[in-house]
Amino acid sequence: MESKLDKRSQAALAQLSTLLKNDETVQHYQAIEQQVKRSSVLKQLQQELEQAQKSIVNDEHYHKPKAAAHAKQQADQLKATLDAHPLTIAYRDALFDANATLEMVTGELQHQVDQLIEK
């Protein structure tokens, strides 16, 4: 897709993008994200959770309320384990911080654009 920005604006956007990529908060998020992606423990928990969720749907479809309840209990327990995992907590915290940084930058850009428009 071709950019509708002029060369100067494209250069400024590229510079801003580089600054954001080099931001400590963004880099921390990216490092945690890679750890999450490589974690065999989290992958296993996620697969087990997905299987339990499929069992709930299947058991409900075939009118097996006891089996569905058991699968729901198992899914709830797996989700709680996944949510309480230190890497999951670190990921959510890093994501929150990175989002806050990006929202701050976006808000400042919007404010400056609004000021230019008002002039």
At 30-60, the pLDDT tens digits run 999 999 999 999 999 999 999 999 999 999 9
Nearest to 45 by CA among 78, 80, 83, 86: 78
Identity at 93, one-letter amino acid code:
D
- DSSP string over 54-81: HHHHHHHHTT-HHHHHHHHHHHHHHHHH
User: What residue has token string 């959770």?
Assistant: 49
| DSSP classification of residue 5 | S
Whether 34 contacts 94, CB under 8 Å: no
The model's pTM is 0.82
| Packing angle of the helix pair 40-61, 86-118 (nearest 10 deg) | 90
At 62-78, the pLDDT tens digits run 999 999 999 999 999 99
Whether 35 contacts 85, CB under 8 Å: no
